[in-house]
Structure 1
Amino acid sequence: MSNTPILQLQEASIFQREHLVLSDVNVEIYHGQFVYLIGQTGSGKSSLLKTLYGDLPLKSGVGNICGHDLKSLKDKDIPFLRRKMGIVFQDFQLLTDRTVSDNLLFVLKATGWKDKKKMEAKINEVLEKVGMATKGFKMPYQLSGGEQQRVAIARALLNDPELILADEPTGNLDPGTSEEIMILLKQISENGRAILMATHDYSLILKFPNQTLKCEDGKVFMAVQSSL
């Protein structure tokens, strides 16, 4: 594990427009680390993640992620930041009018890939990693929820990200499928990628224990399992 954090916040304040959501946030996450982010609805989890991927500005404090300074991040820099991270959402956000492979091809083209053979090889590689190698020709509606989330994770891996931000990735899945997705994310983390996963499913945290950050009363602090 590298001594340099892939994500570092120091005395950061997280705002949703003019509303202060979290204050004095101090977080460090390193390569290969898997960290949960928990807290009640409205506690600031999504606002924190949105700040990390450039959807909300960091107005005060220090923030560095994947080599980018969040405080000085310009709109034109956001695509470059997002190429260094993968983002996985609760509702998959797949394009419903194109196949699994074409969903992934769309992302590669949008992030500057040009070589057709390299794009094809990369799509095959990430689908293989998530156990979807034979499903590239299918449309999203032909897949189960778990399969759609596997495709969303494959999409997040396309540009070999140093960090994956996962916002309630098992929120729309049944318990058995949720466990399958957790095993997949765990394998990805063990291969050296950092993962920050927001979740409200404490049963998964108990089954797959990792360091846990909790948003509560406008603060972020380290939680121990007995206090979840």
Structure 2
Amino acid sequence: MGEQILHLKDVTIFQKENMVLQNISLEVKKGEFVYLIGKTGSGKSSFMKTLYADLPLTKGIGEIVGFNLKTLKEKDIPFLRRKLGIVFQDFKLLPDRNINKNLEFILKATGWKDPEKMKIQIEKVLHKVGMKTKGFKFPHELSGGEQQRVAIARALLNDPEIILADEPTGNLDPQTSVEIMKVLQEINKAGRTILMATHDYALLLKYPSKTLKCDDAKVFEVIQKAI
């Protein structure tokens, strides 16, 4: 461990003119599993959006997977996002096509051309999340937990250096949340870095790891016993 995936120094995050978080200095190293916790409205989603360039970084120094967030040009955002895997709370699957076609859509959008290579990659990521036999199903035919597994598979398509998971268990019951957490743990054990925003403290206790907290417009590391 040593290689930095994410480095922020004296960063302030704004939503339009409103300051959301300030004076953030932190780093995430390759292979780490890091939680981001905090109350609803504490700035977790704004923090995540800044990392995948949905919110521009205007103050401070920010680098993620080799991209400078402050000088990042609009045309380079797709290249940044290819190196990130993003998992949302509400799955964001396209309802009008089956799972294989959902994943194929992302591959085509990110520059893949060879149908055979796309097919192999789709099978590979679905296998990793335990959904290999479900590719022909439509999103509405799957449970919430299954849809989130597909969303994680989608995040893995371009072999990202880090997965940003924004409340990935937020819409799921406790048992399904644990199953999704196990999937993420396996992906992390295989060497993938994961930053996961959550307010599910039961998961933190069950799977303790490095924890950052959003509170009072700041982001700081906390010792789990102090949560």
Cα shift readout 1:183-202 (whole Å, capped 9, x = no counterpart): 11011111111110000000
Aligned residue type for 2:211: T
What is residue 183 of structure 1 aligned with on the other side? 182
SS in 1 for 2:4: coil
Question: C-alpha displacement at 1:63, in angstroms?
Answer: 0.4
Partners of 1:154 and 1:167 in 2: how far apart?
Answer: 15
Cα shift readout 1:26-68 (whole Å, capped 9, x = no counterpart): 1111111000000111111000000000000111111000110
TM-score by structure 1 length?
A: 0.98
Question: C-alpha displacement at 1:4, in angstroms?
Answer: 2.2
1:124 aligns to 2:123 (yes or no): yes
Aligned residue type for 1:66: V
What is residue 26 of structure 1 aligned with on the other side? 25
Partners of 1:222 and 1:210 in 2: how far apart?
Answer: 11
Partners of 2:104 and 2:7 in 1: how far apart?
Answer: 32
Cα shift readout 1:128-180 (whole Å, capped 9, x = no counterpart): 01000000000000000000000000000000000000000000111111001
Partners of 1:187 and 1:104 in 2: how far apart?
Answer: 21
Aligned residue type for 2:215: E
What is residue 53 of structure 1 aligned with on the other side? 52
RMSD: 0.6
What is residue 6 of structure 1 aligned with on the other side? 5
Q: How many residues align?
A: 227
SS in 1 for 2:123: helix
Which runs of no fewer than 5 residues in structure 2 stay unpaired? none
Aligned residue type for 2:204: I
User: Equivalent residues in 2 for 1:40-119 (5 A)?
Assistant: 40-119=39-118
TM-score by structure 2 length?
A: 0.99
What is residue 138 of structure 2 aligned with on the other side? 139
Aligned residue type for 2:40: T
Partners of 2:16 and 2:188 in 1: how far apart?
Answer: 33
Partners of 1:5 and 1:93 in 2: how far apart?
Answer: 29
Runs of 4+ residues deviating >4 angstroms: none
Partners of 2:191 and 2:30 in 1: how far apart?
Answer: 6
What is residue 172 of structure 2 aligned with on the other side? 173
Aligned residue type for 2:113: K
Aligned residue type for 2:73: K
Which runs of no fewer than 5 residues in structure 1 stay unpaired? none
Partners of 1:17 and 1:194 in 2: how far apart?
Answer: 30
Cα shift readout 1:60-109 (whole Å, capped 9, x = no counterpart): 11100011000001111100000001000000000000000000000000
